[in-house]
Amino acid sequence: MKGKGLLLAGLAFLIIGIVGLALFGSGIVPLVSAANTPAERGAWIFRTGADPNGQPIPYSSGMMMRASCAGCHGVDGHGLRTPMFVSPNVTYRNLTDPAGMLELGSTRGPTYTDDQIRRAVTQGIDAEGESLTWPMPRWQLTDGEWNDLLAYLKTLP
Ligand code: HEC
């Protein structure tokens, strides 16, 4: 019985794969972004974890599967509670709040500067110089990609 289940699962994945390819091929699901402004390009990076040409942005640490900021911090960037981890609100508004960023629960943390946000995203070091825990990947962003991402974080309410 177990073998049959596996076979069915395999078939299901195959069908999902074929349908997926058909969708991408037909352009219904875009693989490449049509974004023009920095914030639009940043939104693409935030939601897909890829650059606007569809190339996945490399990262170290974090989870092994492909991930995007939105996948772990929510599409609105307000943070998520999952069985695996809890992630903070990473909107620019929250991170740079003069009263200190609102952390999980309701405690206040540090106030981030732009450079410190960049360091958190690319090196996994928080505003107080502490290492962020493992789920947060260290993203190898180019200067341009970082500027786009920052522009987008600033648009999040
Ligand atoms: C696999 C899940 C995951 C992905 C993908 C991810 N993050 Fe995180 N991120 C986390 C978790 C969990 C934390 C909290 C780590 C901690 O508190 O030690 C975090 C922390 C942060 C922090 C520091 C906030 C603080 O509490 O000081 C920033 C900024 C951040 N993430 C931005 C991003 C951005 C931007 C992206 C996309 C480029 C991203 N993250 C992708 C899980 C993720």
Residue 79 CA to ligand 1 center (angstroms) comes to 9
CA atoms within 13 A on the CB side of 133: 6
Greater confidence (104 vs 20) lies with 104
The reported pTM is 0.84
Q: Is 118 in the pocket of ligand 1 (CB under 6 A)?
A: no
- Please check whether residue 45 is in contact with residue 148, taking contact to mean a CB–CB distance below 8 angstroms: yes
pLDDT tens digit sequence for 31-42: 788 888 999 999
pLDDT tens digit sequence for 68-122: 999 999 999 999 999 989 999 999 999 999 999 999 878 999 999 999 999 999 9
Q: Structure tokens of 142?
A: 């180019």
Length of the chain: 157
Q: Is the CA virtual torsion 98, 102, 103, 107 positive or negative?
A: positive
Residue 137 has pLDDT above 70, yes or no: yes
Residue 32 CA to ligand 1 center (angstroms) comes to 24
At 146, the amino acid letter reads W
